A = this chain, B = another copy of it.
């Protein structure tokens, strides 16, 4: 399913720790709070707890009491820390979700230093809601697909689900091809990010990610010259393999 909502501009400052890399607007964490989370992790010993106060933390972190208070509340609201407030101060600990965010950062940095990048990902075919067919059939998009990808696209998308972090890492290593959005009197159609891939090592296609869509971060869509579903005899639940194609 594709849901175009806005055009490219209209940035949200909120984002998940895909680290600016992906366009999903799922509001997870403000980037600025990442280092606060890291500091808490360091102080609390990761799985322990930290008894402190907003004044204490503001001194250690060179910020104001008010800002620490607000940012801790935000981290709690987003589920990254748990926070018990008492007249004596604050007891903090990192949640599983918070640990996950930190681990994501760690893995990204490790990849940078090891120059390791995933070259392929696996996915499971899902049913779309027919909207992909509609959007990919719009001439304004079709024309651009043909120009920028080098081939005319079949009117229909193959939806698949995969592992969120793997997807982020995967597309980060690929060259992005950007299909512009456009406006009609009725509504605005957003831009689409495309990444050339090979599906099941057999068929050339492109992984597409609509800008600012409401698609969860663990789903994406594929387009190709032909119907991937027919060509590769895929059904819902089929496993597919998506690999990097061409240069980077």
Give chain A's interface residues, CB within 8 Å of chain B: 8-9, 11-12, 15, 19-23, 25, 31-32, 34-36, 38-39, 41-43, 45-47, 56, 59-64, 102-103, 105-106, 108-113, 115, 172-173, 176, 178, 191, 193, 211
8 pairs, CB–CB < 8 Å, chain A vs chain B: A11-B62, A19-B38, A21-B42, A22-B62, A23-B62, A46-B115, A105-B109, A106-B109
Asked whether, in the complex, the Cβ of A112 is within 8 Å of the Cβ of B46, the reply is yes
> Looking at the complex, which one of B20, B60, B105 makes contact with A63 (CB distance below 8 Å)?
B20
Cα–Cα, bound, A12→B111 (Å):
31
**A20 to chain B: closest CB distance in Å?**
4
Cα–Cα, bound, A103→B15 (Å):
23
Asked whether, in the complex, the Cβ of A42 is within 8 Å of the Cβ of B8, the reply is no
How many copies of this chain sit in the oligomeric assembly? 2
Cα–Cα, bound, A108→B41 (Å):
10
Cα–Cα, bound, A135→B237 (Å):
72
Asked whether, in the complex, the Cβ of B43 is within 8 Å of the Cβ of A172, the reply is yes
Query: Given A59-B191, A62-B23, A112–B9 Cβ distance below 8 Å?
Result: no
Query: Given A20-B35, A59-B191, A42–B112 Cβ distance below 8 Å?
Result: yes
**A191 to chain B: closest CB distance in Å?**
7
In the complex, the chain B residue whose C-beta lies closest to that of A57 is B20
Cα–Cα, bound, A59→B177 (Å):
10
Cα–Cα, bound, A46→B193 (Å):
24
Asked whether, in the complex, the Cβ of B105 is within 8 Å of the Cβ of A105, the reply is yes
Asked whether, in the complex, the Cβ of A39 is within 8 Å of the Cβ of B62, the reply is no
Query: Given A20-B35, A106-B110, A15–B172 Cβ distance below 8 Å?
Result: no
> Looking at the complex, which one of B22, B105, B115 makes contact with A45 (CB distance below 8 Å)?
B115
For A8, list chain B residues within 8 Å (CB). Answer: 59
Query: Given A59-B176, A62-B15, A108–B20 Cβ distance below 8 Å?
Result: no
Cα–Cα, bound, A193→B172 (Å):
42
Shortest Cβ-Cβ A-B pairs, 7 listed? A20-B61, A106-B109, A19-B35, A41-B112, A20-B35, A20-B39, A46-B112
Asked whether, in the complex, the Cβ of B115 is within 8 Å of the Cβ of A109, the reply is no
